[in-house]
Structure 1
Amino acid sequence: MAIWTMIFRKMAKNRWLQLNLWFGLTICVALFSSMPLYSHAILQRTLFKQLQQLQKDQGIYPGSLRASTSISGTRSFDEIRSLIAKADRYMINAPARFGLDAQSYVITRGTQSFRVMPVDASDREKRELNVSGSFRTVSDLEKRVHVIDGRLPDPNRKDGVYEVLVTPKFIIDLKRDLNQEFVYKNKETGKELHLIPVGIIESKSDNIYDQYNVESYNSSFYIPYKQFDHDFVQNQGPLKLSVIAWQYAFNYEQMNIDRIDNYLGQFASINNYFNMRLGISAVDMPAKNSIATYTEKQEKLDVMLWSLYSPVMLMLAFYLYMAANLIIERQKTEISVLRSRGASRMQIMFVFLIESLLLGALALAAGPYIGVYFTKILGASSGFLEFVQRSSLDVVLNSDSYKIAIAAVCGSIILILVPAFLATRTTIVGHKQQMARSNKMSFWHKTGADIILLGVAIYMLHSFNQRMDGLKALALDPTAIQVEPLMFFMPALFSLGIGLFVLRLYPWLIKLVFWIGRRWWTPALYSTLLQISRSSSQYLTIKVFLIMTVAMGLFSANAARTINGNMEDKIQYTTGSDIQLSVHWDNDKPPPAAVGGGAPPPEDTAAAPKVVTYTEPSFITMQQLAGVDTAARVFRKDDASFAVNGANGATTLYGIDTYDFGKVAWMRGGLLQYPINSYLNLMASNPKAVLISRSLADKYKVKPGDPLSAKWAGLDSANFIVYGIIDYWPGWNPLPAAGDKDDPEVRLPNLVVGHLSYIQNHLALEPYEVWIKLKKDTTSAVLYNDIVKKEIPVENLVDAEQLLIRSKNDPFRLAINGVMTLGFVISMMISFFGFLLFWVLALSGRTLQFGILRAMGISFLQIIGMLLSEQLLTSAAAILFGVLIGNSVSSMFVPLFQLSFSASDQVPPFEIVRQLSDYVQLYSVVGSMIIIGLLILGIRISRMKITQALKLGEE
């Protein structure tokens, strides 16, 4: 009991230190526990959004499951009936096996096809009329179809005539009205089957779950399900069964990524069950392709999260070690006294272990819940230190979070106990000797850790640069790499290594400054320079802390901004404007020939394809759409050809209105030699003027002023004059589909940009795109609604805003933005507390020194000046080093992120993005931390009592 009393008294005595240590442990637990929470929550939301998008894009309900099978003619009727009953029982339990609620369940069955003839058919009709159909049924038929004419069949009719439902198209093919009798005669048995269409049906459109379309089975006679089951399944009817299908609509919102293996396994089981059981089978689940990749995505995201968190973990390890070391340093006298009075090292370690376990238990109690809050912050991040009003992530604490949290606590306790274990070797004499030798070299510099870390980071950087060159040389697609985890860990290693190396040299610089001005320094500055030069190892931890915080903060900001900026630039450049719109043009194009039908055209006809005549829709209507600021006509012909300097080749031909195009087109600065509007103004002076791509100019030795002709199939050439040479153009990819663009053997795409009116007048009028720039603060929904209202026949629409939103919701991009933001915020928090902890304890240890200085006549303002100069030479210097190192690290390591982008798709080229607001935010946070810290330190110094300090000295 005595030992517990001692532990609690000791913890109470050092309560502020213990509180700082508990804070570090709690943040550590929260950070680690948030990793599985975020990975699960973001992938869960991404899966849900992806399934929603599948339904929106393809009109398919993503929760559907359909199993269909033909009926083999080699099996006996009794065997088929038994197998169908077993299959029905098997499928009825599918929701329980999948663990999903069924929104609907549809069973469809059909017979073999047979030829029908009107009972009153004429001889000519008997010869020429060839209409075939099959009996078909759907469970709950009356709930799934809408009778547009006639009535529902009567299943209790006793005269042997089947009352059936047909589609509008089929009733036309039958060439009879409703209530006209038809007959089918079996040539082998001579038996007849009579049927009467009594109703015309269409699919109900208000049920999104069934996805059963009667129009897809036009040649069908629909009868009630019970009647079909009795006459053709339970009993051997006049027709044989042909096909059976079971279709579920599961509630896909209940799909959980933890059960993905179960979903895929159940899908495979159904596939195996029906494989050749009744006949040829097919099982389809639209969500399968979406969920099949999620196990791999989760593994990659987990690896990325570990790599993203690694710099923050390094900071937390520093913080915990520093806090533990400061606590131990404060208690070294007590430890040495206990050792001198016979306490063993294990007994002392047991005391510190109990303290650590108590703090760890408290951190474990609060940390996971803070981790939930961290996860929600990650979900709301859209950029570095940028947050949006996005629907919150569905976060639930699970066993994985607590397992990782417990592992984090155990690791942290071991880290905390290391300085305690080292301190237990110290005797009273040794402790006094160490206090007298405060200028000894630190452990990091003794072991050369800075040189080792620098060497490792530089070697890894060299390896990555070689890999990047190899990817370009081999024309490989680097998208498979995605984001290499080491790309986040290497900068942390380099920052730590270069920071330690700079701090190895810094004390010598201080000594040099001290030596140069030793005759002129004021007493306060003299004392400060002497203190820093002689006790450099004392300040090492806090300086490394600040260097790492600032350097990694700058790297995180630049890395996140670069990844976001390049992805957004790629979308904007590819789209060319806010919206690309293509509408239907009426034309005299012949319909496509039937597959396998008709004779091949003569050779001379094939050589001269018919020129299609198009009717241009009103462009004014496009300009007057709601939300449109400017609209431009942009004609693109990808299969055009050109002739220049006696040579010819393939090219993409653009036709534009220079004035309108300049208003709507998006172009990143620096891609062209001159601003894009300068090229457009140059073209505007001559209708024959064209701009050509650098690839065309270099290969065919074309220069401004040269004549050039262009055309496409079936047309005569039109003459142009080259006015300028360009490297990029909105919407055009100058990179080859495969291979290195610098390889002379690789064919590069060509581009010719001319006047749309000239191309239409001298070549042909063909459909063009409408590029739209929206009004400021106008969303594309306004435009969509007006398009629907005016019934404009849109054939294709590309919305840059929607593409940007999808990109921002990508789980890997969310992880990068969220974790880098969270990491920076946590780094700032622990740096602030670490800064205060270090300086408060340092000042407490120098109470006697300040008291003596005050007794010697140094004023309070001079002591504040001494403290300020000490801060400038330690903390401010460390921040300055952090800025320099952070910029260097960004320049060296951020370019590696282009490995995450496909080399063939990265247009415009990869560019490091730095934004002034990020630097302002970083410096504001760091500056506020230093100012608040100095104010607190100043208040503590003002409250010092000189008499107590001198009395302490006498003792």
Structure 2
Amino acid sequence: MSLVSILTMVLKRIINNLSLMLAAVVGLVITVTLVASIPLYSEGMSEQLLYRQLTASAEQVQPKSAILMRHFEEASVGNTSSTAAPAPGAVAQTGNGPVVTASGNAYKPVTLDEYNKANAYLADQAESTVGIPRTLYVTYGQSDSLPLLSRTDDQSLQGREFAGYGYIAFIRDFETKIKLLAGRLPNPDPLPNGDLEAMMATAGLDEIGLDVGDRIVVVWEKQGKLTPINITITGRWYPRDTTDPYWFYQLDYFNNAIMVSEKTFLGHVAKTYEGIPHEFAWFMVFDVKSIRSDNVARVLDGINELRSRTATLLGNVRMELSPETILQDYETKLFFLKILLFVLSVPVIGIVLYYITISAGMIVDRQRNEIAILKSRGASTFQVLGVYLVEGAIFGGFALVVGPILGMSVAQFIGRTYTFLVFTNRDPLPVHITQQTMQFATGAIVLSVAAMIAPAVGAARYSIVAFKQEAGRSGRGPFWQRWFLDFALLGVAGYGYYMLSQRQSILTLGAAGDVFSDPLLLVVPWVFIFAAALVFLRFFPFLIEGISRAGSRVYGVSILLGLRQISRMPGQYTRLVLLLTLTLALGTFAASVAKTLDRNYNDRVMYQTGSDLALVESGNYDEVSETWSFQPVVEHTQVKGVQAVARIWRGVGNANVTGRGRPQEVKILGVDPPDIARVGWWREDFAPDSLVSLMNAMGANEKGAIVDAKFLTDFRLKIGDAIVVTIRQKPIDLIIVGSVTYFPSLWPDTDRFMITNLDYLFDQVGETPYDVWAKTDPEVPWREIVDQLRDKDFLVSRATDARETALRLRDDPGRTGIFGILTVGFLVAAMLTVLGFMLYSFLSAKRRMQQLGILRAMGLSITQLIGLFIFEQGFLIILGTAAGTVLGVMTGNLFIPFLQIKSEQHAGIPSFVVMTSWDDIYKIYAILGVILAFAFPAFIWMLARMKIHEAIKFGDETG
């Protein structure tokens, strides 16, 4: 067959089987969409964070997208008051000898020609070299800091009667950025008497006692010779806008600058007084909005080229400011984020590819007779495969166009994920299709088309005779069962579990403290799920056979026929059961991961904070009486949003038990028992008793103390024993009334601690500043609460809101991407599972028309046939759902404990609580139920319209 004939055949096949082909096309489009969404999300989220980082306020004066390049002369002669750091390795010498550098070569100052070449390069080519628009370009030059005289007689000069220090400088476009408070702009040419004209900042003039019209002498020393430079002050200036990024140094730096025009500095100062230039600088600000994920590498290359080229032209050049570090950090984080999400999406992509394979397999099964006829009429295996390959190419081209566009929407969907199947409103991500996006999409198409034509490879080997013979035989088990690959994968998962339990890793993705930095945490659970699902399918036929035999005398006709049909031909059903099992296991495991991490993120934050809001406060100290005074703590509750408060005092003491070893340092937490019981955060596993019971025990005895469990063990103590704790050199008698394993804000892994009555402590050691824990209304912003407290004269120096801290953790791009991929993956898998069941139902009905027609002719009613169908589909769905749920819960219990970060400080405190998210699992059931509710009626309608003679005839034709 020629290519034209193959193409014609393919188009006819597509048109004649459009509804079936759409099932395969959906799988292709979803695969491409999912794969394309990962780089789109990763780049969009990272780009958004990069933009925030580049535009965030910081201590540095210059914008973070700015580049500052400075050239210093390698020697400062006769000067001890340099305004800028000397060049590395340069040695300043005085006297008549030559100035040399650290390399031993005679130093030659930069010439004006060299400066002009460098300046021309940066002015004309820097923008194109970096590759993004430049919004500001400033050139700057100055002398070193030089002494100033108010008169020029030899006595003043030789006697060094200096009025102060200053430096001659120029800065491009200076006249447009200042306000003239007095005088005028200086002329670029010298006056007839040889004086230069200059301006000074108003603060600088006031500092040295000069005014507009005064004359000042700058003394320049070269090789021991003092040379006066006469300057007339023509203007007093002040910045037009003090926040303008044009002022790339702190404004105070320019107070001592004697500002001349660029023409004056280069044409007269630098020429007349050779060697006087000390620094040249170029300051450029680039457009932050033009830095995108697809040009970051270009920008970094441009910055390196800028540095290298300028160094070639001028020599000693330092790039003292650039976004290079931020951009490099962005590239590193983006790289690891992409790997993380791709590794996480592998199971989902595998499910999608598996759907494509089984949907294509069901279509090929229906076309086997057609394939066998083609083979018998002379078509080669390659020609038959060519038909499917052309089909795949057509579908792949469509998916390549549609997939990345849909991927942009999916990327936004991922960006709005709050946790599994929960979404929030966030700013849209700056997503755009890049070359890399299309590369990933093309790779996905190759995989999808390969999965699509894989079933045709086996079918293309049979002639019509071989096909009829094969159809009459019972099929062999799948290759993975014959080669025991399911048990092999289960062994791999077991070894992975062992490595995780030993805290071993093959690779680290990103920072070592990230939850999913170990790829084994991503890979091993999915391998276990897949392996366990395959093992379940190995025993699936035996399970069905057992159920069938157990109730053969009890079941109705529809149920018995359904069970026997499934047990006789399990291969037709196991593919769908596997798809459903994997989908439910994925959803159940993902939901449990999300709920566990959410719970433990919150618990970790609450443990660190202690309550909803932690306030670090002070009081008023009377130096005469040497005492502190505080406003009543209860007055905090007069502020809107504060529901209850408790005082918290922290200190260190030495615990001493007679005859039990040396004193041991302990952390002391002083509290008011009734208040802390209302305000403090608590979890049941922190102690054998509840927080209320512990506080009641303390409240009943002012000397009562609660100690950590290890303290009891170390000192071999028990409840009721007395101890002495020395605080500020004062011994305090205490009685142990309870013990805890954990207590909020205290860390038993590094410290021994105890909780005591605060009033009793203050009676013993005196009152000192304490912190305050507050229970707050979540509807009232915590900053508003703090502002109101300060308005009421509470001395709040720092505040930590637990809710905001937890929310900030949830906005982490890696965490958002993980839950976004898991959510999208589950929804995709659920949709494909339903599509797979619908496709199977349709093709199965077509294939079994003869069987159903015979059953109808034997006397079975339409109701019984519908019951047969509903039982088959319902039984498989329930079985797959139950297996997937059990497998997901089992996987969660096995692997979720490994998600607890062990590399950070105080790791494992509080202990990790594994949660099975039954609420989300019920959501999963509901989603599947709603979708399947629309699938059943269509098939029931088809059965109701079936006619006996047509069904038998159709069965003969397809048989």
Output the TM-score relative to the length of structure 1. 0.85
1:41 matched to 2:72: no
Per-residue deviation at 1:826?
0.5
Aligned to 2:83: none
Aligned to 1:386: 422
Per-residue deviation at 1:546?
0.8
1:70 matched to 2:72: yes
Contact 1:528 1:866 in 2 (8 A): yes
Aligned to 2:557: 523
Distance 2:403 2:250 in 1: 53
Distance 2:369 2:639 in 1: 81
Change (3 A) 1:353 1:289: closer
Change (3 A) 1:499 1:280: same
Distance 1:953 1:268 in 2: 73
Per-residue deviation at 1:811?
2.2
Change (3 A) 1:869 1:568: same
Change (3 A) 1:459 1:279: closer
Contact 1:103 1:209 in 2 (8 A): no
Aligned to 2:815: 813
Among 426, 432, 435, which residue is 2:468 paired with? 432
Mapping 1:666-681, distance limit 5 Å: 666-681=681-696
Distance 2:907 2:543 in 1: 49
Q: Sequence identity of aligned pairs in percent?
A: 25
Instruction: Give the superposed CA RMSD.
Output: 4.0
Aligned to 1:345: 381
Per-residue deviation at 1:838?
0.7
Deviations along 1:474-502, one digit per CA (max 9) or x if unpaired, are: xxx94279433343333333222222222
Contact 1:210 1:249 in 2 (8 A): no
The DSSP-based 3-state class of the residue aligned with 1:655 is strand
Aligned to 2:571: 537
Per-residue deviation at 1:217?
5.7
Per-residue deviation at 1:248?
2.7
Contact 1:80 1:278 in 2 (8 A): no
1:250 matched to 2:286: yes
Residues 665-674 or 536-545, more deviating: 665-674
Distance 2:372 2:312 in 1: 82
Contact 2:215 2:233 in 1 (8 A): yes
Aligned to 1:403: 439
Aligned to 2:82: none
Change (3 A) 1:809 1:543: same
Distance 1:2 1:177 in 2: 95
Aligned to 1:212: 249
Mapping 1:165-176, distance limit 5 Å: 165-166=200-201, 168=203, 174=208
Aligned to 2:319: 283
The DSSP-based 3-state class of the residue aligned with 1:258 is coil
The DSSP-based 3-state class of the residue aligned with 1:733 is coil
1:303 matched to 2:339: yes
Aligned to 2:839: 837
Amino acid at match of 2:577: K
Report how many residues are paired. Answer: 911
Among 524, 546, 549, which residue is 1:512 paired with? 546
Aligned to 2:711: 696
The DSSP-based 3-state class of the residue aligned with 2:910 is coil
Deviations along 1:855-874, one digit per CA (max 9) or x if unpaired, are: 22222222232223323432
Change (3 A) 1:229 1:353: same
Distance 2:657 2:265 in 1: 74
The DSSP-based 3-state class of the residue aligned with 1:479 is coil
Aligned to 2:888: 886
Per-residue deviation at 1:846?
1.6
Deviations along 1:235-290, one digit per CA (max 9) or x if unpaired, are: 43599343443333333232223333444444445555677997976433363332
Contact 2:269 2:276 in 1 (8 A): no
Distance 1:226 1:394 in 2: 42
Distance 1:70 1:791 in 2: 52
Per-residue deviation at 1:304?
1.3
Per-residue deviation at 1:539?
0.8
Contact 1:69 1:274 in 2 (8 A): no
Change (3 A) 1:768 1:223: farther
Per-residue deviation at 1:205?
3.6
Amino acid at match of 2:736: V
Contact 1:640 1:710 in 2 (8 A): yes
Distance 1:190 1:22 in 2: 85
Change (3 A) 1:133 1:729: farther
Per-residue deviation at 1:550?
0.5
Amino acid at match of 2:576: I
Distance 1:470 1:430 in 2: 49
Mapping 1:907-926, distance limit 5 Å: 907-926=909-928
Aligned to 2:478: 442
Deviations along 1:452-482, one digit per CA (max 9) or x if unpaired, are: 22222222222222235999xxxxx942794
The DSSP-based 3-state class of the residue aligned with 2:946 is coil
Mapping 1:482-881, distance limit 5 Å: 482-582=516-616, 627-637=641-651, 641-645=654-658, 647-710=662-725, 716-735=730-749, 748-780=750-782, 782-783=784-785, 795-881=797-883
Residues 615-624 or 88-97, more deviating: 615-624
Among 8, 18, 21, which residue is 2:21 paired with? 18
Residues 571-580 or 824-833, more deviating: 571-580
Amino acid at match of 1:574: Q
Distance 2:205 2:700 in 1: 64
Distance 2:795 2:177 in 1: 30
The DSSP-based 3-state class of the residue aligned with 2:607 is helix
Distance 1:770 1:942 in 2: 73
Mapping 1:310-329, distance limit 5 Å: 310-329=346-365
Aligned to 1:30: 33
Residues 787-796 or 885-894, more deviating: 787-796
Per-residue deviation at 1:669?
4.5
Residues 480-489 or 529-538, more deviating: 480-489
Aligned to 1:742: none
Distance 1:751 1:333 in 2: 79
Per-residue deviation at 1:777?
1.9
Distance 1:265 1:677 in 2: 63
Contact 1:105 1:210 in 2 (8 A): no
The DSSP-based 3-state class of the residue aligned with 1:364 is helix
Change (3 A) 1:196 1:350: closer
Contact 2:211 2:233 in 1 (8 A): no
Mapping 1:187-206, distance limit 5 Å: 188-189=225-226, 191=228, 193=230, 199=236, 201=238, 204-206=241-243
Change (3 A) 1:856 1:673: same
Contact 1:146 1:204 in 2 (8 A): no
Among 57, 62, 85, which residue is 2:116 paired with? 85
The DSSP-based 3-state class of the residue aligned with 1:257 is coil
Contact 1:439 1:534 in 2 (8 A): no
Among 113, 116, 121, which residue is 2:145 paired with? 113
Per-residue deviation at 1:652?
3.2
Distance 2:246 2:776 in 1: 36
Deviations along 1:722-771, one digit per CA (max 9) or x if unpaired, are: 33322222233333xxxxxxxxxxxx322233344444453355444344
Distance 1:175 1:275 in 2: 41
Contact 2:148 2:162 in 1 (8 A): no
Distance 1:21 1:551 in 2: 24
Change (3 A) 1:584 1:57: farther
Amino acid at match of 1:305: L
